[in-house]
Amino acid sequence: MNMALLSLLQQLIIVLAAAVMFSSFVLLGQVRLVAAIHAFAWQGFLVAMVTALVAASDGHGHLYFSAILTLGLKALLIPWMLHRQVRRLELDRHRESLSHPALVIMAALGLVIFSYWLVLPLVQAEMQFTRNIVAVSLAVVLIGLLMMVVRTQAVAQVLGFMSMENGLFLAAVSATAGMPLVVELGVAFDVLVAMVLFGVFFFQIREGIDSLDVDRMNRLTERTGDEP
């Protein structure tokens, strides 16, 4: 794509969208939960910046409210809630290294290439800006899904789920000039409710098996199933 043919705001949107995708790699590679929460907060901040730039570029005033809502919810409130839960669960010093970090990062790079290949025939050549934004958004979603697969800590998997939602929101805002305001409010409320429910489940799981390791829960289920 020839960046010189795009306006300054569109160029900034592309750069910030690439930064959102980079933050997904940072989130995927973090070994400490606190650092992963920080990476998620930065990702939410970048998504809010992209939303504000799209509002300025396309003249959609309601997107400014979406940018403020995204900043408050995904860059401030949800990370604060996760920090609070991690401290209460005494996981602020928890470390979880990937089993094969090089293979995981290579898989994430493969997902980025796959995303660009997938959207290539979907958008006409004259809509290269939209095509790149959709490809980046899809890559963020897939990397979030990969994080849910490779991580064994329940809190890290929730971060992967929230990162997937960031990718979907980025695609909706950048490629379609935003969803109706009522829909955005409904989605924001659903995300907040999901975060509260995740917190309740964290404490229930911790009280039940004294761990939030998903592999440990799977082993416990297998042992229960083997009992006569």
Q: What is the pLDDT of residue 108?
A: 93
User: In a structure prediction context, what are the per-residue pLDDT tens digits for the chain, which is 228 residues long?
Assistant: 555 566 788 788 888 999 999 999 999 988 888 888 899 999 999 999 998 888 887 777 778 888 888 898 889 888 888 888 788 777 777 777 777 888 989 999 999 999 988 887 765 554 666 778 888 999 999 999 999 888 877 778 888 888 888 888 888 887 766 565 555 665 666 666 666 666 656 655 555 555 555 555 555 444 444 454
- Interatomic CA distance for residues 70 and 79, integer angstroms: 12
Helices 181-209, 214-226: inter-axial angle, 10-degree rounding? 60
Strand partners, 32: 95
Domain boundaries, the chain: 3-222
Q: What is the pLDDT of residue 7?
A: 72
User: Exposed/middle/buried for 200, CB within 10 Å: 0-12, 13-18, 19+?
Assistant: exposed
Q: What is the pLDDT of residue 98?
A: 75
- Interatomic CA distance for residues 35 and 96, integer angstroms: 11
Tokens representing 193?
Answer: 């409710």
CB 100 within 8 A of CB 29: no
